[in-house]
Amino acid sequence: MSQLEANKQLCRDYFQAFLIKDEAWMRAHIAPTFVRHDPGLPFEVRGPEGVMQLHDALMPAFPDMQLPLLDFVAEGEKVLVRLKVQATHTGAFGDLAATGRQINIDVMDLFQIRDGVLIEHWALLDNMRMTQQLGG
């Protein structure tokens, strides 16, 4: 497997590990200095602990979350992933009580990988569409 293909697989594995909160995988494959750049979050995501905090903030609100991975583009240390977030809002999400509504939004995630470890992540979610779908 080429390095670019290995990097794409690492990103696939990241999303699977996120959904099930695989702490062992996260500690092995996410650098302690990892940072997620995400203007839509009210807290900073750093290292494996930050990713687990993100999981704990999202999954109770959207426990049936699915992340269909649509496209991968890899070059050098970076992998761009186009995906969807599909879920039902059945728990509190920030100040928003459960609505029972479904979301289906577009996401672009750019990851930087060094020596087989995720070191940085830039996330762009269609937050406006999500707000509309949740009734906001």
Q: How is the chain split into domains, by residue range? A: 3-133
pLDDT digits (tens, 9 = 90+) for 117-132: 999 999 999 999 999 9
pLDDT band, very low/low/confident/very high, at 13 (cuts 50, 70, 90): very high
pLDDT band, very low/low/confident/very high, at 29 (cuts 50, 70, 90): very high
As a whole number of angstroms, the distance between CA 80 and CA 97 comes to 33
pLDDT band, very low/low/confident/very high, at 40 (cuts 50, 70, 90): confident
pLDDT band, very low/low/confident/very high, at 94 (cuts 50, 70, 90): confident
Best CATH choice for the domain 3-133 from the list 3.40.50.300, 3.40.50.720, 3.10.450.50, 3.30.40.10: 3.10.450.50
As a whole number of angstroms, the distance between CA 57 and CA 22 comes to 15
Task: Report residue 3 as tokens.
Answer: 């390095």
Question: Residue 14's beta-bridge partner residues?
Answer: none
CB under 8 A, 24+ apart: contacts of 51-55: 51/18, 51/26, 52/21, 52/23, 52/26, 54/18, 55/18, 55/21
Quick one: pLDDT at residue 133?
A: 97
Burial 121-134 (b: 16+ CB within 10 A, else e): bbbebbeeebeebb
